Structure 1
Amino acid sequence: MSSLPNSHEALLRNRDLLAGTVGLLGVTDPSVLPLVGDHGLAMSEHAGVYSALSGVPGWQSCFGYDDPGLQHAILDTIVVFLPKARAELDFRLALALWLARAGARLILVGEKKEGIAGAVKQLRARLPDAGKVDSARHCQVWSAEVEAPSHQFELADWITWTSIEHAGVSIEVAGMPGVFSLGELDEGTALLLDTLAREPVRASRVLDFACGAGVIGSWLQGWQRQADLATSTVDGLDVQSQAVICARATYRRNGCTGDIQASDGLSGVQGKWPAIVTNPPFHTGVRTDTSMTERFLREVASHLEPGGELRLVANSFLPYGELIQRHVGTAERLEQTRRFTVYRAFRR
């Protein structure tokens, strides 16, 4: 039990609160499920965690906020783990209240360093009688009764649209709580797009790894159409449910082509591409975490056609140049600023 996240251990200290049909929203460690009970519902928006949840007997696993297993008023106890992005908490609470039966208990668990104090204000805005039941493992546990379930939870109500213009190309981008760079074009992606305009990728099919809301693929196809060039099909992969939902919506809105899929890295992906582009993540919550990108760089060559191009933007302080050199080919710096570097390499 000592290897469990603090929030999961804090929940286990209060397992006497878990009655009837239990749902865990935002669970991050599947090993907690058998310790909670022999059945229930567990939701994660992370493709890798969801895959692991699917292997726990007796538990119904759900991927993200649009999983068909999420049904109205089916739970007696709903545990909401504090998400990394505070904007996502209202989203998760709205889902919890829709899943709750009349008289259900809603439990909010989170670490102090993750902002549980502020999260409690969001909880009490919906359930004013919520009270603290425990403080342990650097976490707080809050509980409230749901007198009546919410009658509506529509995914479309949580999607926002932002117009992004770069290098003369405008696209409409879908956003949802928790999605990277919500409502703006981040500096690293902008630098990558600059290089795509100046030094175009010569490929009929491109893979956008960690595609987020589909900005790179939509912009690239828009730029190609505007320049009267052949339009590449841009497939997308992302680990997060909301990103996949948004990227598909962004592609539909902008008339783009490409297959958007959920995937935790490349290990479960079939096929090779003549080009792969990426602005990969390097944070897990508030911590710097380059493990996903390092794994990607170890595996990416097997998904590039011979001579195929990798183009990657990353914070300049991250040591990706030598990893690209080791696993793909000669790493060329196409663009470098104080904060970001765009690398290009061709599979040797």
Structure 2
Amino acid sequence: MEAIAAELEEFCSTLTREPDFDAAELRAYDTADLLALTTAAERIRGAQPGTVVTVGDRHGALTLGAAAVLGATGVRAYQDPLLAERALAQNAARLDLAGSYSAEPLGETLLAGAETVLVQLPRGLEALEEIAWKIARFAPPDVRVFAAGRVKHMTLAQNEVLAKYFGEVAAGLGWRKSRVVQAAGPTPQFAGAEPPFPKWGADRELPFGLAAFGATFGGTKLDHGSRLLLSTFAAGQGRDAWGGSPGRTHIFDLGCGSGVLAVSAALALPSAAVIASDQSDAAVRSTALTAGAAGVAGRVAIHRADGAEAVADGWADLVLLNPPFHTGATVHAGVGQRLIRDCARVLRPGGELRIVFNSHLGYRPLLEQAIGPVRQLARDATFTVLSVTRR
């Protein structure tokens, strides 16, 4: 194992995170990638073309490691974050491995004929359940899943989710603070069952339902940060409330999740054009369903995009932002800082960014420097809502 791991680590050390958010303390791979590949190495080396699948590969370590080091051909890969997908593509092109894999949606085209599935365990159980159901539904009966993660982020609940869909679930020994859970024997009752996703939820403060696929931030619930941000409009705080906003004809929801902010804006301001974007595949699919059920699908343009790249310079009268504060499982304020700088570009002079964030992150100095004057609209024990005017 150590020899294979060393060969894989030497290869993975050539990978970069570009164009994903990068920092000195972040790497394009971790030991969970190495352990998944080494644990499955014998199966991968003897695999027929097109029978190895990766799910959740962050920057290419699983997909390209399987191809370049273990000899897999026709690898199929699904990644929820757009930046992970682009990082894999850039690494593959740079290493002359572009033809070794194909990017596929999470479903039958990804999993049909899959014999070995390598999974980077997602942060949420809902995301894991959707992955497990899709594998059990579309992969052959002899499929084997190798789900890897860092021990500090792994729980028994993840094994329980896998056990809902597979007859055999077993955790391997820890190695360099990582572990692999293997699953096999898809339970046949799910072959014709209704899919568990998307799920729908309701909130007493919302006049519409929320749809969510597994990896969608907040799921089917109105998260606390968005609730606090919306309360500043309902209370008429800031320069004006939803109903008193005739000048707000172009609204951008950056990091739309399930679509709660974009749909709220579209319902409150029926003459406004609304753009919603998120780099998460699950999020944009969820927002589309939420907007459709609320009757505003024709006025909410939805994009899977990196930051604000789908929006023209100076287009927005109002930007709504509830930024993430992590990259993968790593908490890092730089992710939100990157989005704040995007907001400066897309806001028109005099336009407003309304942002909610964990108070300890201290974004105010950057907001003042990058965008303009800042006023606090709300604050509780966890979150702060600010209004920032584009100078």
Q: TM-score range by the shorter chain?
A: 0.7 to 0.9
CA distance in 2, matches of 1:327, 1:154: 48
Determine which of 38, 42, 65 is the counterpart of 1:16: 42
Structure 1 residue 27 corresponds to structure 2 residue 57 = yes
CA distance in 2, matches of 1:146, 1:105: 8
CA distance in 2, matches of 1:190, 1:103: 45
Determine which of 275, 280, 301 is the counterpart of 1:259: 301
Measured at CA, do residues 22 and 269 of structure 1 come closer, stay the same or move farther in structure 2, by a change above 3 Å? Answer: farther
1:227 corresponds to which residue? none
Q: Which runs of 5+ in 2 are unaligned?
A: 1-8, 14-26, 68-72, 93-97
Q: Which runs of 5+ in 1 are unaligned?
A: 225-229
TM norm structure 1: 0.87
Deviation of 1:334 after TM superposition, in Å, equals 2.0
1:45 corresponds to which residue? 80
Q: Which has the higher strand share?
A: 1
Q: Which has the higher helix share?
A: 2
Determine which of 335, 339, 345 is the counterpart of 1:302: 345
Taking the TM superposition and a 5 Å limit, the aligned residue runs for 1:325-336 are 325-336=368-379
CA distance in 1, matches of 2:124, 2:366: 30
Taking the TM superposition and a 5 Å limit, the aligned residue runs for 1:151-230 are 151-152=191-192, 157-166=196-205, 170-197=207-234, 198=236, 199-200=240-241, 201=245, 202-224=247-269, 230=270
8 A contact 1:80–1:96 mirrored in 2: no
Deviation of 1:116 after TM superposition, in Å, equals 4.6
8 A contact 1:106–1:146 mirrored in 2: no
CA distance in 2, matches of 1:212, 1:5: 27
CA distance in 2, matches of 1:131, 1:275: 50
CA distance in 1, matches of 2:164, 2:388: 51
CA distance in 1, matches of 2:129, 2:333: 28
**Aligned residues: CA RMSD:** 2.5
Amino acid at match of 1:129: E
Structure 1 residue 293 corresponds to structure 2 residue 336 = yes
Measured at CA, do residues 258 and 129 of structure 1 come closer, stay the same or move farther in structure 2, by a change above 3 Å? Answer: closer
CA distance in 1, matches of 2:171, 2:377: 53
Deviation of 1:176 after TM superposition, in Å, equals 2.5
Amino acid at match of 1:216: L
Amino acid at match of 2:306: D
TM norm structure 2: 0.78
Q: After the TM superposition, which of the residue ranges 22-31 and 267-276 deviates more from structure 2?
A: 267-276
Provide the identity percentage: 24
Amino acid at match of 1:26: G
Determine which of 94, 97, 101 is the counterpart of 2:133: 94
Deviation of 1:178 after TM superposition, in Å, equals 2.8
Taking the TM superposition and a 5 Å limit, the aligned residue runs for 1:13-162 are 13-14=38-39, 15-18=41-44, 19-20=47-48, 21-37=51-67, 38-55=73-90, 56=92, 57=98, 58-63=100-105, 65=106, 69-70=109-110, 73-146=112-185, 151-152=191-192, 157-162=196-201
CA distance in 1, matches of 2:173, 2:74: 24
Deviation of 1:253 after TM superposition, in Å, equals 0.5
Deviation of 1:212 after TM superposition, in Å, equals 0.8
Number of residue pairs matched?
337
